[in-house]
Amino acid sequence: MIKLYNTLTKKIEEFKPIEQGKVDIYSCGPTVYWYQHIGHMYAYIHWDTLVRFLRYSGFKVKWVMNITDVGHMVSDEDTGEDKMEKGARREGLTVWEIAGKYIDQFLESLEFLNIQKPDVLPRATKHIQVQIDLIKRIEKNGFTYKTKTGLVFDTTKFSGYADFAKLDLKKQISGSRVEIDPEKKRPWDFLLWVTNQPKHIMQWDSPWGKGFPGWHIECTAMSTKYLGEQFDIHTGGLEHIPVHHTNEIAQAYGAFGKKLANYWLHNAWLTLKNEKMSKSLGNMILVTDLIKRGFEPMHFRYLVLTSHYHKGLVFDWKALKAARVAYQRLVQMIKEWKEEEEKSATQERMTKTEKFRQKFLEKISNDLNYPEALAVVWEMAKSNIPSPDKLDLILDFDQVLGLGLAKQSKTKLEIPKDVQELVEKREKLRKQNKWQEADEVRQQIAKLGWKLEDTNRGSKIKPV
C-alpha cells in the first residue's frame, strides 16, 4: 500500500489512482528567466524519485511539467514586472532568447542529476490558444468579470476557495496581495487575462483584448490538456499553496465543476542556514558550481535523498562532503561485490534478499521516506548476505533512487585531492621512518571518511 501526505485533505492517506495501473502527474516547472539553482533541483529530484517509484511499482506513469515563459510576475501575483521581461532587460536579449538560454540550462541540470525528462514539457507561449479556450469556458460558466486590468476570476462563485490553504480572507485587505484596482471586487480575485499593459513585449489577441495570460491559468490549461479534466497527482513547492495552487483549483472548478487533482504533494525548501536560496538574496548555487568545487552531481542527489521532501534540507558544504563519502563508499562496495564469485542461490538466501527488498519498499511507500530507505540500503550492505545478492539488491533499489550506481561502479574510484595529498604525505613519512607522524596523518585521513590498508604492494585506500 502506497501512502502519501495529501495537502488537499491535510493527512496521509492511501494512494488510489483514478485508473487502475495508471498514474498521471503534473509538476509545476521552472520560470525560465534565470538559472535553476540547487534549491529548485531539490524539488525536481524528489518528484523524479516519486515517478521512478511508481514506475518501479508497476504503474504506467505520464509525467507533465510546464515551462513558464510568460505571465509570471516578480511578485508571484498579479502585478509588477513580468519575470521574462526582467530577464531580457537584464541581459540585453529578447524574451525568446532568454527562454531558450534558461531552458537549456534547466535541461542540462536535469541530465547532470539523473532526473528523468518529463514525458511532456509544454511551454506556456506554445499553448496560448489552449489557455484562451479554457478562460472562455470559465467565463461562459459565470465565474468572471472585467476590470481595467483585464478579465478577473470571481472567487465568490467558488465557495471552497479558502479551504485548500486555510486562508483567512477576512484578514485580506485591498492592496495586500495585488495592486489596488477600484473595479476589483476583492483583493484575492485574480487575473485570467491581462489587458492593461500595452508595453508588454509578449501579447496576443483575445476576446477580451490584446494582452497575455495570467500565470495561474497556464498550469490549469496545460495539465488538463495532457492529463484530462481530473488527474491523480499535482506536485509543487510549499510556496505554491496559498496563491498559485489555490487559484488552479478555483479555475478547474470554474471550468469543469470538479477538483483538478486527487492528491496534492508539496515539497519544503532547501535552505542555507534557514534562509531560502534565491536570486534576490544573492545566495544561488548551481549544479555546475558543485562540479567546479570537485563534487559529482550524484553526491548532491544522494544528499537530497537523506531528507524527507516534506521537511526540506539545510544545505552546507560539510553535509555535501559527507554525502560524497557515503556515495563513494557505496560505489566502492559495489566494485568489490562484483569481484566476488557467484554461487547458486538457496532458499535461505532468497528469503533474506526478499526481506530487504520488502523493507526498502515499505519505507518508500510510507509517504516517500527516502532517508529510511537509504538506512535499509546500508543495513543490507553491512549484512552477511552474499555479495552477489547485495549487488543485485542495490542495483534494483537504484531503479528508484536514481543514483546511477551501475554506471558509477564501472568507473575508477576518484579520491578527493585533499585525501590523496595526505596519502602521499604519509608515504613520505613512512619512508623516513617517522611512524608516529605517519600515524597522525592516517587519523586525519580517517576523519575525512577514508580507510588505509597497508599491503605488500603499498597502501590501499577506500571509503570507510
Residues 195 and 81 in one domain: yes
Gap between the Cα atoms of 369 and 365, Å rounded: 7
Question: In this model, does residue 175 exceed pLDDT 70?
Answer: no
Considering the domain boundaries, does residue 244 fall inside one?
yes
Quick one: how far is CA 142 from the chain centroid?
36
Of 42-51, 304-313, 374-383, 405-414, the range with the lowest mean pLDDT is: 405-414
Cell digits of residue 30: 521552472
Question: In this model, does residue 203 exceed pLDDT 80?
Answer: yes
As a whole number, mean pLDDT of residues 98-102 equals 92
For residue 224, the enclosing domain spans 3-267
Question: In this model, does residue 463 exceed pLDDT 70?
Answer: no
User: What pLDDT does 180 receive?
Assistant: 58
Please name the amino acid found at residue 178.
Answer: V
Length of the chain: 464
Domain count, the chain: 3
Burial of 434 (0-12, 13-18, 19+ CB in 10 A): middle
Q: Quick check: helix, strand or coil at residue 351?
A: helix
Q: Which has the higher per-residue pLDDT, 208 or 445?
A: 208
Residues 369 and 339 in one domain: yes
As a whole number, mean pLDDT of residues 331-343 equals 79
Question: In this model, does residue 120 exceed pLDDT 80?
Answer: yes
As a whole number, mean pLDDT of residues 252-272 equals 97
Phi/psi for 395 (5° steps) reads -70, -30
Burial of 18 (0-12, 13-18, 19+ CB in 10 A): middle
The band of 280, judged by pLDDT with boundaries at 50, 70 and 90, is low
Residues sharing a CB contact under 8 Å with residue 337, sequence separation 6 or more, in sequence order? 387, 388, 390, 391
Work out the angle at residue 129's Cα, subtended by the Cα atoms of residues 124 and 134, and round it to the nearest 5 degrees.
Answer: 90
Q: Which of 267, 296, 320 is the last residue of a domain?
A: 267
User: What pLDDT does 174 receive?
Assistant: 47
Residues 300 and 441 in one domain: no
The band of 89, judged by pLDDT with boundaries at 50, 70 and 90, is confident
| Angle of helix 297-305 versus helix 370-381 axis, rounded to 10 | 110
Gap between the Cα atoms of 174 and 319, Å rounded: 44
Work out the angle at residue 307's Cα, subtended by the Cα atoms of residues 304 and 313, and round it to the nearest 5 degrees.
Answer: 80
Question: Nearest to residue 332, comparing CAs of 409, 271, 425?
Answer: 409
Question: In this model, does residue 158 exceed pLDDT 90?
Answer: yes
Of 32-41, 165-174, 231-240, 435-444, the range with the lowest mean pLDDT is: 165-174
Buried b (16+ CB within 10 A) or exposed e, 279-297: eeeebbbbbeebeeeebbb
Residues 115 and 259 in one domain: yes
Gap between the Cα atoms of 29 and 219, Å rounded: 9
Q: Which has the higher per-residue pLDDT, 11 or 410?
A: 11
User: What pLDDT does 291 receive?
Assistant: 97
As a whole number, mean pLDDT of residues 269-276 equals 84
User: What pLDDT does 104 receive?
Assistant: 97
Q: Which of 267, 300, 320 is the last residue of a domain?
A: 267
User: What pLDDT does 345 receive?
Assistant: 60
As a whole number, mean pLDDT of residues 389-399 equals 95
Residues 208 and 119 in one domain: yes
As a whole number, mean pLDDT of residues 258-279 equals 89
Residues 191 and 241 in one domain: yes
Question: In this model, does residue 455 exceed pLDDT 60?
Answer: yes
Considering the domain boundaries, does residue 279 fall inside one?
no
As a whole number, mean pLDDT of residues 267-293 equals 86
Residues 343 and 425 in one domain: no
User: What pLDDT does 342 receive?
Assistant: 63
User: What pLDDT does 419 receive?
Assistant: 83
Mean pLDDT of the chain: 90
